[in-house]
Chain A
Amino acid sequence: AQKVTQAQTEISVVEKEDVTLDCVYETRDTTYYLFWYKQPPSGELVFLIRRNSFDEQNEISGRYSWNFQKSTSSFNFTITASQVVDSAVYFCALSEALRVSNYQLIWGAGTKLIIKP
Protein backbone atom coordinates (compact mmCIF):
# COMPACT_ATOMS: atom_id res chain seq x y z
CA ALA A 1 0.00 0.00 0.00
CA GLN A 2 1.12 3.52 -0.64
CA LYS A 3 1.55 5.82 2.28
CA VAL A 4 3.20 9.12 3.13
CA THR A 5 4.07 9.93 6.73
CA GLN A 6 4.89 13.37 8.02
CA ALA A 7 5.46 12.69 11.68
CA GLN A 8 5.90 16.33 12.64
CA THR A 9 2.47 17.84 13.11
CA GLU A 10 3.74 21.29 13.98
CA ILE A 11 7.14 22.92 14.15
CA SER A 12 7.84 26.33 15.61
CA VAL A 13 11.19 28.08 15.20
CA VAL A 14 12.54 31.57 15.47
CA GLU A 15 13.27 33.47 12.31
CA LYS A 16 16.68 32.76 10.74
CA GLU A 17 16.89 29.29 12.22
CA ASP A 18 17.23 26.32 9.89
CA VAL A 19 14.40 23.82 9.94
CA THR A 20 13.93 20.36 8.42
CA LEU A 21 10.57 18.83 7.60
CA ASP A 22 10.56 15.06 7.47
CA CYS A 23 8.75 12.88 4.96
CA VAL A 24 8.78 9.08 4.86
CA TYR A 25 6.97 7.16 2.14
CA GLU A 26 5.93 3.61 1.37
CA THR A 27 5.42 2.16 -2.08
CA ARG A 28 5.91 -1.11 -3.87
CA ASP A 29 6.50 0.53 -7.21
CA THR A 30 10.02 1.01 -8.48
CA THR A 31 9.01 4.10 -10.40
CA TYR A 32 7.31 6.91 -8.59
CA TYR A 33 7.33 10.64 -7.99
CA LEU A 34 7.64 12.61 -4.78
CA PHE A 35 6.45 16.14 -4.23
CA TRP A 36 6.45 18.95 -1.76
CA TYR A 37 3.68 21.54 -1.70
CA LYS A 38 3.25 24.63 0.43
CA GLN A 39 -0.16 25.77 1.63
CA PRO A 40 -0.14 29.31 3.04
CA PRO A 41 -3.11 30.60 5.05
CA SER A 42 -4.82 31.64 1.82
CA GLY A 43 -5.40 27.95 1.12
CA GLU A 44 -3.92 27.55 -2.35
CA LEU A 45 -1.43 24.72 -2.69
CA VAL A 46 1.84 25.89 -4.19
CA PHE A 47 4.07 23.38 -5.94
CA LEU A 48 7.66 23.38 -4.65
CA ILE A 49 9.40 20.38 -6.13
CA ARG A 50 8.95 17.08 -7.95
CA ARG A 51 11.49 14.29 -7.77
CA ASN A 52 11.35 10.97 -9.59
CA SER A 53 12.54 7.74 -8.05
CA PHE A 54 15.53 7.43 -10.35
CA ASP A 55 17.04 10.74 -9.36
CA GLU A 56 18.51 10.71 -5.87
CA GLN A 57 20.49 13.88 -6.26
CA ASN A 58 19.81 16.45 -3.64
CA GLU A 59 18.36 19.69 -4.87
CA ILE A 60 18.85 23.23 -3.71
CA SER A 61 16.71 26.19 -4.66
CA GLY A 62 17.67 29.33 -2.83
CA ARG A 63 16.99 28.75 0.86
CA TYR A 64 15.19 25.49 0.14
CA SER A 65 16.87 22.13 -0.18
CA TRP A 66 15.64 18.57 -0.47
CA ASN A 67 17.32 15.34 0.56
CA PHE A 68 16.01 12.22 -1.18
CA GLN A 69 17.23 8.88 0.18
CA LYS A 70 15.72 5.72 -1.27
CA SER A 71 17.54 3.57 1.28
CA THR A 72 15.44 5.08 4.05
CA SER A 73 12.41 5.97 1.89
CA SER A 74 12.71 9.57 2.93
CA PHE A 75 12.38 12.87 1.14
CA ASN A 76 13.18 15.59 3.65
CA PHE A 77 12.85 19.32 3.12
CA THR A 78 15.12 21.90 4.73
CA ILE A 79 14.61 25.63 4.90
CA THR A 80 17.77 27.55 5.66
CA ALA A 81 17.61 30.90 7.42
CA SER A 82 13.85 30.69 7.81
CA GLN A 83 11.66 33.75 7.35
CA VAL A 84 8.22 34.64 8.65
CA VAL A 85 6.84 34.28 5.12
CA ASP A 86 7.77 30.61 5.23
CA SER A 87 5.00 30.04 7.77
CA ALA A 88 2.57 27.62 6.15
CA VAL A 89 1.51 24.02 6.10
CA TYR A 90 3.84 21.87 4.03
CA PHE A 91 2.70 18.67 2.39
CA CYS A 92 4.72 15.80 1.06
CA ALA A 93 3.02 13.65 -1.58
CA LEU A 94 3.63 10.50 -3.60
CA SER A 95 2.49 9.54 -7.07
CA GLU A 96 2.95 5.99 -8.29
CA ALA A 97 1.14 5.94 -11.57
CA LEU A 98 3.09 6.54 -14.70
CA ARG A 99 0.45 5.87 -17.26
CA VAL A 100 -1.29 8.94 -18.57
CA SER A 101 -4.63 7.35 -17.94
CA ASN A 102 -4.28 6.91 -14.23
CA TYR A 103 -2.66 9.09 -11.64
CA GLN A 104 -3.39 10.58 -8.28
CA LEU A 105 -1.41 11.94 -5.37
CA ILE A 106 -1.13 10.26 -1.98
CA TRP A 107 -0.70 13.00 0.58
CA GLY A 108 0.99 13.20 3.93
CA ALA A 109 -0.89 14.81 6.79
CA GLY A 110 1.12 17.97 6.51
CA THR A 111 3.47 19.82 8.84
CA LYS A 112 2.46 23.21 10.11
CA LEU A 113 5.52 25.43 10.21
CA ILE A 114 5.43 28.53 12.37
CA ILE A 115 8.25 31.02 12.03
CA LYS A 116 8.33 33.50 14.88
CA PRO A 117 9.86 36.94 14.33
Chain B
Amino acid sequence: KAGVTQTPRYLIKTRGQQVTLSCSPISGHRSVSWYQQTPGQGLQFLFEYFSETQRNKGNFPGRFSGRQFSNSRSEMNVSTLELGDSALYLCASSLLTGGSYNEQFFGPGTRLTVL
Protein backbone atom coordinates (compact mmCIF):
# COMPACT_ATOMS: atom_id res chain seq x y z
CA LYS B 1 0.00 0.00 0.00
CA ALA B 2 1.46 3.34 -0.99
CA GLY B 3 2.11 5.81 1.79
CA VAL B 4 1.21 9.47 1.99
CA THR B 5 2.78 11.40 -0.86
CA GLN B 6 3.47 15.08 -0.97
CA THR B 7 4.46 17.21 -3.92
CA PRO B 8 6.64 19.01 -4.49
CA ARG B 9 9.29 17.93 -2.01
CA TYR B 10 11.17 21.21 -2.22
CA LEU B 11 10.05 24.65 -3.21
CA ILE B 12 11.70 28.06 -3.33
CA LYS B 13 9.54 31.15 -3.58
CA THR B 14 9.97 34.87 -3.00
CA ARG B 15 8.08 37.11 -0.64
CA GLY B 16 4.65 38.09 -1.86
CA GLN B 17 4.18 35.07 -4.06
CA GLN B 18 1.67 32.34 -3.42
CA VAL B 19 2.22 28.61 -3.27
CA THR B 20 0.12 25.44 -3.48
CA LEU B 21 1.20 22.20 -1.89
CA SER B 22 -0.38 18.86 -2.63
CA CYS B 23 -1.00 15.78 -0.52
CA SER B 24 -2.28 12.38 -1.56
CA PRO B 25 -3.40 10.30 1.41
CA ILE B 26 -3.15 6.58 1.78
CA SER B 27 -5.82 4.86 -0.27
CA GLY B 28 -9.03 4.66 1.72
CA HIS B 29 -8.06 7.36 4.19
CA ARG B 30 -10.56 10.20 4.29
CA SER B 31 -9.01 12.51 6.85
CA VAL B 32 -6.08 14.73 5.92
CA SER B 33 -4.31 17.05 8.33
CA TRP B 34 -1.64 19.62 7.65
CA TYR B 35 1.14 20.71 9.98
CA GLN B 36 3.84 23.35 9.81
CA GLN B 37 7.23 22.60 11.31
CA THR B 38 9.79 25.32 11.97
CA PRO B 39 12.88 25.38 14.20
CA GLY B 40 11.41 28.16 16.29
CA GLN B 41 7.79 27.10 16.67
CA GLY B 42 8.10 23.36 16.30
CA LEU B 43 5.18 21.37 14.94
CA GLN B 44 1.94 23.29 14.67
CA PHE B 45 -1.43 22.10 13.46
CA LEU B 46 -2.78 23.97 10.46
CA PHE B 47 -6.08 22.32 9.57
CA GLU B 48 -7.86 19.04 9.05
CA TYR B 49 -10.18 17.96 6.28
CA PHE B 50 -12.65 15.14 6.19
CA SER B 51 -14.96 14.39 3.30
CA GLU B 52 -14.09 17.67 1.59
CA THR B 53 -14.96 19.71 4.70
CA GLN B 54 -12.59 21.59 6.94
CA ARG B 55 -13.41 20.36 10.42
CA ASN B 56 -10.67 21.86 12.50
CA LYS B 57 -8.30 24.78 12.11
CA GLY B 58 -5.23 25.85 13.97
CA ASN B 59 -4.18 29.37 14.85
CA PHE B 60 -2.86 30.58 11.51
CA PRO B 61 -3.75 33.67 9.51
CA GLY B 62 -6.20 33.58 6.64
CA ARG B 63 -3.32 33.50 4.17
CA PHE B 64 -3.21 29.79 4.88
CA SER B 65 -6.04 27.88 3.28
CA GLY B 66 -6.75 24.44 2.06
CA ARG B 67 -9.21 22.17 0.41
CA GLN B 68 -9.93 18.52 -0.09
CA PHE B 69 -11.20 16.85 -3.21
CA SER B 70 -13.68 14.04 -3.58
CA ASN B 71 -10.82 11.53 -3.92
CA SER B 72 -9.49 12.74 -0.52
CA ARG B 73 -6.46 14.42 -2.04
CA SER B 74 -5.78 17.72 -0.38
CA GLU B 75 -4.07 20.96 -1.26
CA MET B 76 -2.97 23.79 0.92
CA ASN B 77 -2.34 27.29 -0.31
CA VAL B 78 -0.33 30.08 1.21
CA SER B 79 -0.83 33.51 -0.29
CA THR B 80 1.36 36.58 0.04
CA LEU B 81 4.30 34.59 1.31
CA GLU B 82 6.40 35.94 4.16
CA LEU B 83 9.91 34.97 5.19
CA GLY B 84 8.47 33.34 8.29
CA ASP B 85 6.50 30.90 6.17
CA SER B 86 9.71 29.03 5.41
CA ALA B 87 9.09 25.64 6.95
CA LEU B 88 8.57 21.95 6.45
CA TYR B 89 4.90 21.36 5.69
CA LEU B 90 3.72 17.92 6.67
CA CYS B 91 0.57 16.19 5.62
CA ALA B 92 -0.94 13.28 7.52
CA SER B 93 -3.79 10.97 6.65
CA SER B 94 -5.99 8.87 8.82
CA LEU B 95 -8.67 6.27 8.28
CA LEU B 96 -11.08 7.64 10.89
CA THR B 97 -13.77 5.02 11.28
CA GLY B 98 -16.20 4.21 14.05
CA GLY B 99 -15.46 7.20 16.23
CA SER B 100 -12.33 5.83 17.81
CA TYR B 101 -8.97 7.36 17.27
CA ASN B 102 -6.99 6.20 14.28
CA GLU B 103 -3.33 6.95 14.00
CA GLN B 104 -2.05 9.45 11.52
CA PHE B 105 0.43 8.49 8.84
CA PHE B 106 2.72 11.26 7.72
CA GLY B 107 4.15 12.10 4.36
CA PRO B 108 7.77 13.15 3.79
CA GLY B 109 6.84 16.82 3.77
CA THR B 110 7.36 19.76 1.46
CA ARG B 111 10.21 22.03 2.40
CA LEU B 112 9.29 25.59 1.49
CA THR B 113 11.94 28.29 1.42
CA VAL B 114 10.82 31.89 1.08
CA LEU B 115 13.50 34.33 -0.06
Contacts and interface: CB of A to CB of B under 8 A. Distances in A.
A76 B107 CA distance: 25
A39 to B, nearest CB: 9
B109 A95 contact: no
Interface string A36-66: 0100001111110010100000000000000
Contact of B106 (A44, A99, A110): A44
B109 A44 contact: yes
B104 to A, nearest CB: 7
A42 B42 contact: no
Contacts of A37: 106
A72 interface: no
A47 B103 contact: yes
A105 interface: yes
B56 A104 contact: yes
Interface in A78-117: 91, 93, 95, 98-110
B106 A50 contact: no
Contact of B108 (A43, A47, A99, A109): A43
Interface string B78-115: 00000000001010100010111101111111010000
Interface residues of A, number: 27
Main secondary structure of the interface of A (DSSP, over half): loop
Given A50-B101, A103-B48, A103-B101, A44 B108 contact: yes
Nearest to A91: B43
Interface string A1-40: 0000000000000000000000000000000010101000
Interface centre among B33, B100, B101, B106 (most CB of A within 10 A): B101
Contacts of B92: 45
Contact of B107 (A44, A47, A99, A109): A44
A98 B101 contact: yes
The 8 closest A-B pairs by CB, nearest first: A45-B106, A107-B43, A104-B45, A44-B108, A43-B109, A109-B42, A100-B99, A47-B103
Interface of A: 33, 35, 37, 42-47, 50, 52, 91, 93, 95, 98-110
